[in-house]
Chain A
Amino acid sequence: METFRNLLDPFPSQQSTFAANVDAIYYFIFWLSTFFFVIIVAMMCYFVVKYRRVEGQEPEKSPSHNTPLEVTWSVVPGILVLGIFWWGFTGYVDMRSPPAETYDINVTAQMWSWQFKYGTGAVDAELHVPVGTPVRLIMQSKDVIHSLFVPVFRVKQDVVPGRYSGLWFEAKEVGKFELFCTEYCGQKHSDMITKVVVHATDEANVTDEVPQTFDKWLEVASDPLEGGRIPLEQAGEKVIGMFGCLQCHSIDGSNKVGPSFKGHFGQQVQTRDGSVLMDENYIRESILEPNAKIRQGYDPKMPSFKGSMKDEWIDAVIAYIKSIQ
Chain B
Amino acid sequence: MTSHVMPAHSDSHSSADNYLTASKGFLSWALTLDHKRIGLMYLIGTMTAMFIGGFLALLLRAEHLSGAPGFVNHDTYNQLFTLHGAIMVFLFIIPSIPGALGNFILPVMLGAKDVAFPRMNLCSFYLWVFGAIFFVGALLTTGLDTGWTFYTPYSTNTSQTNVVLATLGAFILGFSSIFTGLNFIVTIHTMRPPGMTWFRMPLFLWSLYATAIIQVLATPVLGITLLLLAAERMFGLGIFDPKLGGDPVLYQHFFWFYSHPAVYIMILPGMGIISELISTFSRKAIFGYRFIAFSSMAIALLGFLVWGHHMFASGQSEMITIVFSALTFSVSIPSAIKVFNWLATMYKGSIVLATPMCYALSFLFLFTIGGLTGLFLGALATDIHLHDTYFVVAHFHYVMMGGTLVAFVGGLFYWWPKMTGKMYNEFWGQISALIVFVAFNLTFFPQFVMGSRGMPRRYYNYLPEFQVYHVLSTIGAFLLGFGLLLAAVVLIVSLFKGRKAPANPWGAATLEWQCSSPPPLANFEKTPTVGNPYDMQSVVWDPDTESFVRRGDVPIVPDETEQPAHA
What residues of chain A have their CB less than 8 Å away from a CB belonging to chain B?
7-8, 10-12, 18, 21-22, 25-26, 29-30, 33, 36-37, 40-41, 43-44, 47-48, 51-54, 56-60, 62-67, 69-70, 73-74, 77-78, 81-82, 84-85, 87-96, 111, 143-145, 147, 149, 151-152, 154-158, 160-163, 165, 178, 180-191, 193
Contact = CB atoms under 8 A, between A and B. Distances in A.
A162 B248 contact: yes
Given A26-B452, A47-B351, A51-B349, A87 B159 contact: no
A81 B375 contact: yes
A64 B285 contact: yes
Of the listed residues A154, A162, A181, the one surrounded by the most CB atoms of chain B closer than 10 A to its CB is: A162
Contact of B379 (A44, A58, A84): A84
B456 A143 contact: no
B453 A40 contact: no
B23 interface: no
A185 to B, nearest CB: 7
A180 B375 contact: no
A64 B287 CA distance: 5
Contact of B248 (A59, A95, A161, A184): A161
A85 B247 contact: no
B305 interface: no
Main secondary structure of the interface of B (DSSP, over half): helix
Interface in B285-309: 285-291
Contact of B154 (A48, A53, A59, A184): A184
Interface string B233-277: 000000000110011110000000000000000000000000000
A78 B379 CA distance: 14
A73 B321 contact: no
Interface in B341-400: 341, 343-344, 346-353, 361, 364-365, 368-369, 372-373, 375-376, 378-385, 387-389
Nearest to B452: A10
A47 B343 contact: yes
A73 B350 contact: no
Contacts of A7: 449, 468
Contact of B325 (A51, A53, A89, A160): A89
Contacts of A92: 318, 321-322, 325, 380-381, 384
A85 to B, nearest CB: 5
A73 B286 contact: no
Contact of B378 (A51, A88, A95, A191): A88
A64 B74 contact: no
A97 to B, nearest CB: 9
A77 B337 CA distance: 9
A143 B283 contact: no
B74 A187 contact: yes
B453 A11 contact: yes
Contacts of A145: 151, 153-154, 248
Contact of B153 (A85, A149, A161): A161
Contacts of B368: 36-37, 40-41
A70 B564 CA distance: 13
B283 A58 contact: yes
A63 B381 CA distance: 42
Contacts of B332: 77, 81
B564 A64 contact: yes
Nearest to A59: B350
Interface in B121-160: 145, 147, 151, 153-154, 157-159
B80 to A, nearest CB: 13
Nearest to B281: A53
A78 B335 CA distance: 11
Of the listed residues B145, B288, B460, the one surrounded by the most CB atoms of chain A closer than 10 A to its CB is: B288
B329 interface: yes
A53 B350 contact: yes
A160 B250 CA distance: 11
Nearest to B537: A58
